[in-house]
Amino acid sequence: MDITALRRSLLRWFSRSKRPLPWRRTRDAYAIWVSEMMLQQTTVATVIPYYERFLKRFPDATSLAAAREDEVLALWSGLGYYSRARNLRHAARQLLENHGGEFPKDIEAAMTLKGVGRYTASAVTSIAYGMPNAVVDGNVRRVLSRLHAVRNPGEAEAREKAAALLSTRSPGAWNEAMMELGATICTPRNPRCEICPIAAQCLGRHRPLHWSEGKPRRASIPTVVEMALVERGDRILLTRNQEGGLMGGLYELPHGGLPLRHAPTQTLRDRYRGTLEVDSEPAAAFRHAVTHHRIDARVFRARLAGRKGVADAAFHRIPAALALPLGGLTRKALRASGLLRS
């Protein structure tokens, strides 16, 4: 394998073919770090508007560290995997306390930050600072498997092979190029080997799928969630999920059926018996996904029953509710019910 020719071909391809993503217009370590945290288990198209809004409100570690958790979660609302937002805020405070507000150049120091593992530390330090740290994510691992014709390399082997290929002159561009190749050309199911810039060097190009057998996907769990839409004038009733559980800490319409610690199978009517009068037929229905749960959601109009009210619930005007950490499930419910357009 001619590594010099391989590097030249891949970097040339990346220079002319890379997608114009907003985080590629900066070398600010903080902004790159935010993008990497958002991109974990989330598509590029989904991340872009969240990234732009987040940086507008929190342009640096100082502003993020000073923010209330609810404000951070509200901007993250709908992006999912909310522990990432909490980790970002916590790590921003670590940056101020221990690193002068700057993301560390040293990879070991970077990995002491909350939520920052070797991949994220390598990506940020190489792209922002030009540090010679090779990244290995799912895309890079697939490229390495096919390139070397090695099936399912272990973590240590993958890191070793990635480090051997790394361009020390342009480590950030190289890492981005490897990830871009895996995301757009060397894809899991339909790799476009005929236009791959490093096909001539690839030992596994004749049987690419053989060398990159993926892990079996976790079976999705079908779940039915019933939600209550209780209106009082221009306000809606919202509860808050318990911390630590599925969608912990988020505001939602009163609901039943969501796998929560206190009542994993409780229906809407059972959960709010004596406090809500629920219509017999749903006013709206939609589908939603939360981690491995495939949710069929049904929205029922409801009214408060008697004077007792719903524990830990309050009425909020919709514009004010949108400034809360509102769960994606409730956002979809409000759209399906015609109360929210965007």
- pLDDT tens track of the chain, all 342 residues? 889 999 999 999 999 999 999 999 999 999 999 999 999 989 999 999 999 999 999 999 999 999 999 999 999 988 888 899 999 999 999 999 999 999 999 999 999 999 999 999 999 999 999 999 999 999 999 999 999 999 989 999 999 999 999 999 999 999 999 999 999 999 998 999 999 999 999 999 999 999 987 666 778 888 889 999 999 999 999 998 776 655 667 899 999 886 654 445 578 898 898 899 999 999 999 998 877 778 899 999 999 987 777 888 999 998 898 888 888 889 999 999 988 775
Asked if 19 contacts 176 with a C-beta cutoff of 8 angstroms, the reply is: no
Name residue 224's beta-bridge partners.
296
pLDDT of 329 reads 87
pLDDT of 110 reads 97
Closest CA to 107 of 95, 120, 89, 96: 120
Closest CA to 337 of 293, 284, 268, 280: 284
pLDDT of 262 reads 46
Q: Which domains does the chain have, with CATH numbers?
A: 3-212 (1.10.340.30), 221-336 (3.90.79.10)
* Residues with active-site annotation: 36
**Residue 286: which residues within 8 A CB-CB, separation 6 or more?**
297, 299, 332, 333, 336
